[in-house]
Amino acid sequence: MIKRFISIKSILFFLIATLSLFSLQAQTDNDLPTIEDKIIGLQTGLFGFWGHYETKITSSISLRGEFGLDLGLRKGVFTNDEMVFALIPNLVVESRWYYSLERRIRKGKSIAHNSGFFLGIKSRYYPDWFVISSDDSVSIVESIDFIPKIGYRKVWNNHLSFESGFGIGKSLNIPSDNWDTTAELTFRIGYNF
């Protein structure tokens, strides 16, 4: 129990230190381009469905919250050669620094709805709440991921969005208190309200 408390304490310290670092590096000059105050939307990709809310912290830094269902597919020896699918719930908190705003403005490109390149630190939690699956024996291991990433966001006609990103980070298996390496490759399309 003490190990688990220390791990959670370390995770919270890491998140607060990261947000503080981004805030210290952010420029707050009113003449600089700025990101949107809030963005609400839905997205889908090859591996799931997500709803998100992104809010402005400074002129170039946002905090994004997300709830989604990740899609998992499996076929092989352990499934009697049958295709098994699962939708797994997850919660995400991600800080994003949109570092290309000035360059995009100079080149005449749009920054509407936070279009541009960003660096982010993604914290994703997989709770053991439920699983929607074609196999009743599928279960979830409660875990938390921390993934530094680089990404790109583009919005057309104020509503249609595309996002891509890549990152490598660490994942904590909560029941066993074991750390492992994890990676993320994202391609999503969505709709902003």
Q: Can you spell out the DSSP letters for 18-76?
A: HHHHHHHH----TTS----SEEEEEEEETTEEEEEEEEESSSSEEEEEEEEEEEEEE-S
- pTM, 2 dp: 0.80
The predicted structure's pLDDT at residue 101: 94
Output the tens digit of pLDDT for each of the chain's 193 residues: 445 545 666 666 666 656 555 554 444 445 678 999 999 999 999 889 999 999 999 999 999 999 999 998 877 655 567 788 899 999 999 999 999 999 999 999 999 999 999 999 999 999 999 999 988 888 888 999 999 999 999 999 989 999 999 999 999 999 999 999 999 999 999 999 9
The two tokens of residue 67 are 């709830």
pLDDT tens track for 4-17: 545 666 666 666 65
CA distance 161 to 192: 7
The predicted structure's pLDDT at residue 29: 46
Residues facing residue 147 across a β-bridge: 122
pLDDT tens track for 146-177: 999 999 999 999 899 999 999 999 999 999 99
